[in-house]
Amino acid sequence: MAIMTYADAAKAGLAEEMRRDPHVWAVGEDLGRGGVFGQYGGMLAEFGPERISDAPISEACIMGAAVGAAMMGTRPVVEMRFSDFALCAIDELVNQAAKARYMFGGQARVPLVVREPIGMWRSSAAQHSQSLESWYTHIPGLVVVCPSSPADNKGLLKTAIRSDDPVVYMEHKGLWPVEGEVPEGDHLVPFGKANVLREGRDVTIVSWSAQVHLCMKAAEQLAKDGIEAEVIDLRTLWPWDKDRVLASVEKTGRLIVAQEAVSVSGFGAEIAATVSETLHGALKAPVKRLGAPRIPVSYAPPLEDKARVTADQIAAAATALVGR
């Protein structure tokens, strides 16, 4: 094991894949300077400008070129800087990359990874703070990944690069400096396999990305009151680990889904509906969803905080479900 930050773990994973496979390359704005968050720092010196490729400020152009390059046999890693900016390239991703394999009868594949940093980050305001993961889970043909730890950010990115399907890879901006143990060597994390971070008997809490850390904090608070919460990190939203979630809720009889994204039409609703439809007879209480209100994220920190789902809110919801 090595101690790495979330950002450095992903960089290590990308570098390993580029050394392993000469068809892997990265393209985006300012990559030669290390990327906006430093997640490509030093890579230009090792791999050169043909594989760490700086692009003009045109997300549609970047994505369109990468989709074509992927269909011709390379494995591009596309840096979109912010998930908000990726909306400029939504046609190339949603109407072209996601559908190519199906529309060409499997004769063409698009092994493409699109890195889209998500989430609130030090007063970045409404155009730089969105969590849009649920948009992509709605699109057939796309894989959607939301790592929460340095180890997963390395292992999932390596798996994404080796995938023959387009992967929307959503890293939370607030996690870049977070440190943790990261396995050395060829560490791969499979898609569709959730991670049970804490076992419990009273309530299941499901989340992903940075919100997972707040769920763990809430679980620690609950334990002091004698409530044992089981915390599940989905890791990938599509595919998502239905079996693991259902097994947990069947044991606890209660479910909370916590997300940073706006609650309305969020992926938490998909989880809640699946559990309610499948285990309605086993539930001891209605499923509870926690998410942001349907408002733009403000620049002002006090207003930004109004859009956050806190550990205290999660703990209070769990206490209410358990009935203590």
Question: How far is residue 260's CA from residue 230's CA, in Å, rounded to a whole number?
Answer: 19
The alpha carbon dihedral of 244, 248, 250, 253 has a sign of negative
Q: Are 36 and 80 in contact (CB under 8 A)?
A: no
Instruction: List Cα–Cα distances, 117 to 128, 130, 146, 230, in angstroms.
Output: 9, 9, 10, 27
Phi-psi region of 158 (alpha: psi -120 to 50; beta: other; left: phi over 0): alpha
Q: Are 259 and 268 in contact (CB under 8 A)?
A: yes
Q: Are 216 and 198 in contact (CB under 8 A)?
A: yes
Active site residue 138: no
Residue 73 one-letter amino acid: G
Three-class DSSP labels, 51-73: CEEECCCCHHHHHHHHHHHHHCC
SS3 (DSSP) at 271:
helix
Supply 165's token pair. 């399907």
Beta bridge partners of 29: none
DSSP assignment of 21-48:
-TTEEEEETTGGGT-TTSTTTTHHHHH-
Residue of 128, 172, 187, 213 with catalytic role: 128
SS3 (DSSP) at 227:
coil
Active-site annotation, residues:
128
